[in-house]
């Protein structure tokens, strides 16, 4: 057998394995749809937040207690800011302008949503973060004059986001919802200009207890990938044609071997119909989980980066065949 034939055979085997992987996820999702009722979106207003604050001065996220307090804002913009121009992003100073803080474990640096919002949207556009956590993306929407929609499965996280949004600035319409990224029922088809979100990396950091099966951070990696398949479908549904969906995702280790969560998430979103626009490496500087788990010397390299995947939804009637290698890597 010639080298060419062997190469073709190997590629075909890879293609079959990938399709089996995606088919298994799809079948698992379809089996669960019939038995599982997903949480609908519930609008959380400023009045809801003030009532919560009248009874409680803190929130509990995973095993952390975070105070709800009015932050004295010293500046509203980062110093000497320049939009990123390469596929390597590094922010040693994670960014503490406005109400941004790093006390919510795993929240992304505000430089990331700022870059995405400034590159892919204009004033008045609608930005969605369906796993908003402490509301970093929404704060940037408010500062940059974009309309924002934030959703989170953890009610305390929604209240924390409301706390971070509690400052006066430019007119913008920013709404928060208690809800599920797998069921964006209050958002119309093709109504979003940009999705910028930072999902949990399976159970690396847990944001609620294991009993909350609606929280993706409480799931095994296999279950997590199954549920992210639903997230990808909802993301595709609500995004306008020709617009962008950006997801920051990271990988992990088990038994000292690398688990490429990002690689699987990328294939899931491509299967949903997206095209890969950018693959950005984001350098990590504050690796609390890595420091806690992997102390000392080991026979492997410690993970010190994350992956920012930027997908595009094709235009109506777009000839995507020329982009085949950006939509099907095999």
196: domain CATH number is: 3.40.50.150
Phi, psi dihedral angles at 162 (to 5 degrees): -60, -40
pLDDT band at 2 (very low <50, low <70, confident <90, very high): low
Same domain, 125 and 51: yes
pLDDT band at 8 (very low <50, low <70, confident <90, very high): very low
Same domain, 25 and 82: no
Same domain, 31 and 108: no
Closest CA to 143 of 115, 114, 122: 114
Rounded percentage of the chain residues whose pLDDT exceeds 70: 85
Q: Write down the pLDDT at residue 293.
A: 59
Task: Report pLDDT digits (tens) over 59-103.
Answer: 999 888 999 988 789 899 999 999 999 999 999 999 999 999 989
Same domain, 203 and 291: yes
- Across 314-324, average pLDDT: 93
At residue 92, the 3 state secondary structure works out as: coil
Task: Report pLDDT digits (tens) over 95-131.
Answer: 999 999 989 888 999 999 999 999 999 999 999 999 9
Question: Residue 2 sits in which domain range?
Answer: 1-36
pLDDT at 4 over 80: no
Q: Write down the pLDDT at residue 298.
A: 80
Same domain, 185 and 143: yes
Rounded percentage of the chain residues whose pLDDT exceeds 90: 67
Same domain, 115 and 262: yes
**Count of other CB atoms within 10 angstroms of residue 164:** 23
Task: Report pLDDT digits (tens) over 63-74.
Answer: 889 999 887 898
Q: Write down the pLDDT at residue 218.
A: 86
Task: Report pLDDT digits (tens) over 269-303.
Answer: 999 999 999 999 999 987 665 545 556 678 889 89
At residue 62, the 3 state secondary structure works out as: coil
pLDDT at 17 over 70: no
Closest CA to 157 of 190, 183, 133: 133
Same domain, 136 and 14: no
71 vs 191, higher pLDDT: 191
Same domain, 145 and 22: no
Strands 58-61 and 239-249: unpaired
Q: Write down the pLDDT at residue 39.
A: 95
Asked if 192 contacts 238 with a C-beta cutoff of 8 angstroms, the reply is: yes
Cβ neighbors of 33 (< 8 A, separation 6 or more) are: none
pLDDT at 231 over 90: yes
Task: Report pLDDT digits (tens) over 232-256.
Answer: 999 999 999 999 999 999 999 888 8
pLDDT at 38 over 70: yes
Q: Write down the pLDDT at residue 15.
A: 53
Same domain, 65 and 28: no
Count of domains in the chain? 2
pLDDT band at 58 (very low <50, low <70, confident <90, very high): very high
pLDDT at 139 over 60: yes
Same domain, 49 and 71: yes
Angle at alpha carbon of residue 125, lines to 99 and 263, rounded to 5° = 80
Same domain, 17 and 101: no
Same domain, 31 and 124: no
Q: Write down the pLDDT at residue 289.
A: 55
């Amino acid at each position: 057998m010639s080298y060419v034939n062997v190469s073709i055979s190997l590629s075909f085997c890879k293609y079959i394995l990938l399709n089996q992987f995606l088919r298994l996820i799809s079948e698992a999702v379809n089996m669960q749809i019939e038995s599982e009722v997903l949480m609908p979106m519930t609008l959380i207003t400023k009045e809801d937040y003030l009532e919560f604050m009248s009874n409680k001065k803190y929130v509990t996220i995973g095993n952390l207690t975070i105070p709800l307090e009015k932050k004295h804002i010293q500046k509203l913009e980062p110093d000497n800011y320049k939009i990123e121009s390469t596929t390597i992003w590094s922010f040693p100073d994670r960014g503490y302008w406005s109400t941004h803080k790093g006390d919510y474990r795993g929240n992304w640096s505000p430089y990331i949503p700022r870059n995405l919002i400034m590159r892919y949207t204009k004033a008045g556009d609608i930005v969605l973060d369906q796993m908003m956590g402490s509301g970093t993306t929404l704060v940037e929407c408010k500062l940059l004059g974009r309309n924002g929609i934030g959703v989170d499965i953890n009610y305390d996280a929604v209240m924390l986001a409301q706390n971070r949004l509690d400052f006066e600035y430019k007119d913008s319409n920013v709404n928060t919802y208690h809800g599920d990224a797998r069921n964006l029922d209050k958002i119309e088809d093709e109504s979003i200009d940009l999705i910028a979100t930072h999902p949990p990396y399976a159970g690396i950091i847990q944001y609620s207890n294991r009993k909350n099966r609606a929280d993706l951070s409480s799931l095994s990696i296999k279950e997590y990938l199954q549920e992210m398949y639903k997230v990808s479908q909802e993301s595709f549904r609500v995004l306008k044609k020709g617009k962008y969906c950006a997801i920051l995702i990271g990988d992990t280790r088990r038994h000292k071997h690398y688990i490429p969560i990002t690689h699987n998430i990328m294939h899931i979103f491509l299967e949903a119909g997206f095209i890969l626009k950018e693959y950005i490496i984001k350098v990590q500087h504050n690796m609390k989980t890595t420091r806690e788990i992997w102390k000392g010397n080991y026979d492997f390299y410690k993970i010190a980066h994350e992956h920012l995947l930027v997908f595009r939804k094709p235009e109506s009637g777009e000839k995507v065949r020329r982009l085949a290698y950006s939509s099907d890597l095999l």
